[in-house]
Chain A
Amino acid sequence: MTVTAAAELSDLRSFLHGLPGVDKVGVEARAAALATRSIKTSSKAKAIDLAIRMVDLTTLEGADTPGKVRALCAKARRPDPADPTCPPAAAICVYPAMVKVAAAALAGSGVHLASVATAFPSGQAPLEVKLADTREAVADGADEIDMVISRGAFLAGEYTRVFDEIAAVKEACGGAHLKVILETGELGTYDNIRRASWLAMLAGADFIKTSTGKVTVNATLPITLVMLEAVRDFRARHGRIIGVKPAGGIKTTKDAIKYLVLINETVGDDWLSPDRFRFGASSLLNDLLMQRTKLTTGRYAGPDYFTLD
């Protein structure tokens, strides 16, 4: 940790509360304005391939089985079996119990393996349990960990506790990348989202992620815009590039392209890469494939031409 970061930590609360406010009306208007960009033809084709490469193909169900996870891994490796030019997804994202199965299925593919951990999705478990959860997932082969913050602690103003938890999980990750889920739908205000973003980045997050997908409000454009502004400002101050992952509710190619436009006009090139930006999604991938096929063939194929899972 840098000296400045340590000094900030000593007065974390005043630092977080000293961040410039976010005007709700303004940020929503800006996101809505960018959503009107018209992305056509060659730029649409590029956007679709980039979006496919950014997908964290996710299954987080109580009903997940090894069979389901293997099928998902196959899909991530080769999303469109009919078209070898179609790029693979960025990663698959599963519960810790499924990491071993996924690791075997993804071996040698270059597709990353993300595991949610730390008592996902509520985060309401003792720290020791969360750390054990994390260590196990990494030991089983996950190279990315998606943790949840304790929203209760954050909302109660116990910033140091949240900071320490993130730092401890980061340590438990070892070489694995850490994505910190802010669960923005439970934070209530854009000001809180900006503060939580900074808190997570200062504590060592490699990525900040919007949501678990398990609450009513998941990723939205304005929430992602606020988080992108935070990673942009963090880089200006600390020189380190933090990734962003909106998750939950992004279902269509049109949605995904709006996010790419947001990156393009807020933080720019450096984030237009799967190393810096991911979509946490499941049904999005098939819509991307459908639009991709439409662009290459000029025809819409029915849903039966794209694999389930």
Chain B
Amino acid sequence: MFEYAPAPESRSVVDVAGSYGLFIDGAFDGGKDGNVFKTVNPATEEVLAEVAAAGPEDVDRAVAAARRAFGPWSALPGAERAKYLFRIARIIQERSRELAVLESLDNGKPIKESRDVDLPLVAAHFFYYAGWADKLAYAGFGPDPRPIGVAGQVIPWNFPLLMLAWKIAPALATGNTVVLKPAETTPLSALFFADVCRQAELPPGVVNIVTGAGDTGAYLVQHPDVNKVAFTGSTEVGREIARAVAGTGKRLTLELGGKAANIVFDDAPIDQAVEGIVNGIFFNQGHVCCAGSRLLVQESVADELLASLKRRMATLRVGDPLDKNTDIGAINSAAQLARITELSEIGASEGAERWSPECALPDRGFWFAPTIFTGVTQAHRIAREEIFGPVLSVLTFRTPEEAVAKANNTPYGLSAGIWTEKGSRILAVADKLRAGVVWANTFNKFDPASPFGGYKESGYGREGGRHGLEAYLA
């Protein structure tokens, strides 16, 4: 084997301070009651920074700042708001290397993904929604759509900056102001984004960032002066938010869990299907709500496909997220690692056959080898529950009807994949799948122009595209 020498991206391109405050009304300050929490590099368990934990008074101040900013911001002509968004997009591009390294440090994802996927998409989202800001009258929501007011947004740790972009870009383009809470384990890129906002001279209060744990998020979504709540995260927390918001008149969009079926028919382009399966479940360590975590493969090609998949998995490079040749980085937190480990053990004890390629894992940090389970049935917990890690459950089917029935037999409905060289089958099967996104002969492809969202327990509302404007317009 031709060994690749270490090719580390330089850490010196990002300057992480020892401590960070909250970003409220255009300035950083410490939390009112001085509580802080630590954020760590999951690849080394090294503490990266101390971050202020926002209490109720801090959230009050942030919402009040957003309320004050709302009047003038929403009164600006769309073309003027667009200028700020274009400026933010350009600054993100200019600082993309710094932000990519930061994201890999705080999240654990490989630099090749933060550099080639996350950051380009973040900039693309701001560019895309900047383009809508002066064309809202033509978006199909009436001749004079109005912003809603103050948006309270809570985002997850799997794509910290990208989820921020999905939330903030459409909100600002439509004239709303925001208070955003990043995830507890990945607060840093949102705080750097606050600096981008200052650099872009965005008026104070239009974007506020409050860091903290679940209780900070709960104060935010329950705040009486928040008009619109947007949440991406677990179905469990999504339910609590839906309950809290019910009857308040607040608008709500939820983007929750998934257990996507990636369906491989016997006439699929096998080598590319294998790539799609790998990308579907091992991209971002499987910390992807739309991950293709259930592989449904037609029995007649199952052996051949699994042999190819195992051979391919043996080439995956697990390790230092900052090495440019790393394919799979660190699991984001000890808690997430525990959950993945627990569900995998349940899979094995329920009788599924577990396989991982030989791969040495670092001693420190949170790591999980890419894993597949074969002989999985619909009755196994690993076929039903979201694992949110690099673990693939393999099921087989005999006919297209059976594939569709199994694919839809889940409380979730976020995404699905179809692999076949037969165009008519793609259309017929896609029509029957109850999933918000259906990919054909590809997986995990994202574009700001394409709406994204789920069926059933995967949530409601759409983000991205023209559809993504609707959640922020009255």
Interface residues of A (CB under 8 A from B): 20-23, 25-27, 29-30, 36-44, 46-47, 50, 229, 260-261, 263-265, 268-269, 272
Q: Is the interface of B mostly helix, strand, loop or mixed?
A: loop
Q: Would A43 and B5 count as touching, CB distance under 8 A?
A: yes
Which B positions have Cβ atoms within 8 angstroms of A? 1-7, 112, 116, 267-272, 275-276, 315, 324-325, 421, 441-442
- With both chains docked as a complex, state the minimum distance between the C-beta of A84 and any C-beta of chain B, in angstroms: 25
CB nearest to B7 among chain A residues:
A38
Chain B residues positioned under 8 Å from A20 (CB to CB): 267-271, 421
B126 to chain A, nearest CB (A): 24
Asked if residues B4 and A37 are in contact (CB atoms below 8 Å), the reply is yes
Q: Are B269 and A22 in contact (CB under 8 A)?
A: yes
**Shortest CB–CB separation between residue A231 and chain B, in angstroms?**
13
Contact call B5/A272, Cβ cutoff below 8 A: no
Sampled A-B contacts (29; CB under 8 Å): A20-B270, A21-B267, A21-B269, A21-B421, A22-B271, A23-B441, A26-B269, A26-B276, A26-B441, A27-B272, A29-B275, A30-B272, A30-B275, A36-B324, A37-B4, A37-B324, A37-B325, A38-B7, A40-B7, A41-B5, A44-B5, A46-B2, A50-B2, A260-B2, A261-B2, A264-B1, A264-B2, A268-B1, A269-B1
Q: Which residue of A lies closest to B323 (CB)?
A: A38
Q: In the complex, how many angstroms separate the beta carbon of B150 from the nearest chain A beta carbon?
A: 41
B324 touches A38 (CB 8 A): yes
Residues of A within 8 A of B2 (CB): 43, 46-47, 50, 260-261, 263-264, 269, 272
Q: A38–B325 contact, CB under 8 A?
A: yes
Q: Which of B2, B112, B267, B442 has the most CB of A within 10 A?
A: B2
CB distance from A48 to the nearest CB of B (A): 12
Contact (A43, B269) CB under 8 Å given A21-B421, A26-B276: no
Contact A26 B442 (CB under 8 A): yes
Assembly CA distance A263 to B1 (angstroms): 10
Chain A at the B interface: SS class:
helix
Given contacts A50-B2, A263-B2, 4 further A-B contacts (CB under 8 A): A26-B276, A30-B272, A40-B7, A47-B2
Which of B3, B5, B324, B441 counts the most A-chain CB atoms under 10 A from its CB? B5
Residue of B nearest to A45 (CB): B5
Contacts of A25 in B (CB 8 A): 441-442
Q: Which residues of A contact B442 (CB under 8 A)?
A: 25-26
**Counting chain B CB atoms within 10 Å of each CB, which of A20, A30, A263 scores highest?**
A20
Q: Which residues of B contact A44 (CB under 8 A)?
A: 5
Question: Smallest Cβ distance from A173 to chain B, in angstroms?
Answer: 31
What CA separation (Å) do A22 and B421 show in the bound complex? 9
Q: Is A265 touching B315 in the complex (CB atoms < 8 A)?
A: yes
